[in-house]
Amino acid sequence: MRLTQRFRALLILSTLLLVFLYSNLRKEVVSRAGKPPKHAVARQAEVLTQVHTPVRAQVQTMVWAKGQTPVRAQVQTPGQTQFQTPVRNQVLSQPSVNISSAFRTSIPENGAYWNRLLHSSLKRTDRGEDPLNRDPPWPHCQQTSQELIETNVHDVASYPLLLQNFLLGMMCRSPPFLIDQPDKCRGNAPFLLFAIKSMPAHFERRQAVRNTWGREHLHDGGLRVRTAFLLGSASLDDPDLSALVRFEAERYGDVLQADFHESLINLTLKMDTFLRWTLERCPRVSFIFYGDDDVMVNTQSLLSYLRSLNSSMAARLYAGHVIKTAGPVRDPKSKYFIPMSFYEGLYPAYVGGGGVVISGALLRPVYSNCGAIPFFPIDDVYVGMCFSALGVSPQAHAGFHTFDIRERDRENLCAYKKLILVHRRSPQELKRIWRGIHSPLLTC
């Protein structure tokens, strides 16, 4: 009996001891699992300090692109979460802003909101303020309040939602890059840079461009051509293609991606971002072609045209299909609708946004002048304003067909041999036309 009691007591004590040891061991394991190493804590703190939170969710939908891990093609930077090219005043050493009198008088000073913003900005510039330092840095640029807009634009509630969002984000410039190509123009300066507007879902278009007119190549006479595609991030309604875009950027070395959502209202921001990137990464380029990813460019014809320019023409080149007498579209059903309360007056002459050629010598001065001009929701009109402010008039060239060629000529390969640009060709059409105009069998 005593042995049985002793055995039971020993069994209970052993069980209690095992429970105690197991409990302490579990606490130690949980404690270790819940406590990240020091380098992980530092990394988490770094990420948290760099994730920006927009002030208004409405603006976030149209401008911000969050939650992506940046890629720096060719060069990996450990621990870095964003690739921020220098702010505007760092990119432009000793910027000079000189707004032409013709531009000042072409934009009437009246009660329209954008007109008021422009002339207020010009007055501050005349007082010696640097426009490139005026805008708030990117994480804080969203703090334009609805109250401020409603105070200055009495009928803003009647504006289309896209335009309302544009007003809230007008101060947003210089977004950081999620994907950069720092070595794109390293070494010998390119003669021509193809700077192409694209979108994450447009891989097929980009590939067609790479296989045809945008192929990076050393052309006859040693003319070096480079290509870069600028993308924002997919809108909230589109599939997330960030992993595919990252792979493409690493595979081809020609994809840039900035931290804003793709939208019609962000095309002006995209243009300004491309200018900034070019000044930082490709400052010695001779010429820039800035255009869409659905155009067909006859590269050899374009290079021949650029080589034919004398030095004075080349230094002030802003050329393409010129639109001279355009004004705001007042039809609310149009995607280019501009209300009277937002802008009043005609547009300066400008080159259609399908494709424009710009002298590299004009990059710095035109970018400086753009800093004094508020963003406008139509990007090619805004570019025309910046050049008009610089006193540079657009040069018309008959080889640029932004609105397509005659329908009866669209299947005639010889028609493409004579032009420089034609707009809106599918990837399949582009490859077929490119093969045809380079066929040794073609006689024109």
Q: In terms of Cα–Cα distance, which of 299, 322, 314, 324 is closest to 358?
A: 314
Task: Quote the CA–CA distance of 194 and 289 in Å, as a whole number.
Answer: 5
DSSP codes of every residue in 157-207:
GGS-HHHHHHHHTTT---PPEEEE-TTTT-SSPPSEEEEEE--TT-HHHHH
At residue 72, the pLDDT reads 54
Q: Rounded to two decimals, what is the model's pTM?
A: 0.82
Q: Return phi, psi of residue 14, to 5°.
A: -65, -40
Q: pLDDT at position 73, please?
A: 64
Q: What is the pLDDT of residue 285?
A: 98
Q: Where are the alpha helices (DSSP H) in 253-342?
A: 267-281, 299-308, 311-315
In 324-413, where do the E strands start and end? Answer: 350-359, 395-396, 400-401
pLDDT score for 82: 53
The reported pLDDT for the residue numbered 386 is 98
Residue appearing with tokens 């197991």 = 22
At 130 the pLDDT is 84
- The answer to whether the beta carbons of residues 390 and 340 sit under 8 Å apart is no
Calculate ∠ Cα 52-53-56, nearest 5°: 140
The H or E element containing residue 219 is strand 217-219
Q: Using CA atoms, how far apart are residues 359 and 319, in angstroms rounded to an integer?
A: 9
Q: How far is CA 190 from CA 38, 227, 313, in A?
A: 45, 10, 19
Q: Exposed, middle or buried: residue 5 (CB in 10 Å: 0-12, 13-18, 19+)?
A: exposed
For 341, counting Cβ atoms within 10 Å of its Cβ (0-12 exposed, 13-18 middle, 19+ buried), the class is middle
The CATH number of the structural domain formed by 57-72+98-437 is 3.90.550.50
CB 165 within 8 A of CB 377: no
Distance CA 65, CA 308 (A): 43
Q: Which residues on adjacent β-strands are paired with residue 218?
A: 224
What pLDDT shows up at residue 136? 78
**Matching residue, tokens 């875009």:** 245
The residue type found at 148 is L
Question: Tokens representing 185?
Answer: 């123009």
Tens of pLDDT along the chain (444 residues) come to 444 455 455 544 454 444 444 444 343 433 433 433 333 333 333 332 333 333 333 444 445 454 444 555 643 333 334 555 444 444 554 457 899 999 999 999 999 999 999 999 999 999 998 887 777 788 777 766 888 999 999 999 999 999 999 999 898 999 999 999 999 999 999 999 999 999 999 999 999 999 999 999 999 889 999 999 999 999 888 999 999 999 999 999 999 999 999 999 999 999 999 999 999 999 999 999 999 999 999 999 999 999 999 999 999 999 999 999 999 999 999 999 999 999 999 999 999 989 999 999 999 999 999 999 999 999 999 999 999 999 999 999 999 999 999 999 999 999 999 899 999 999 999 999 999 999 999 999
Looking at residue 290, its pLDDT comes to 98
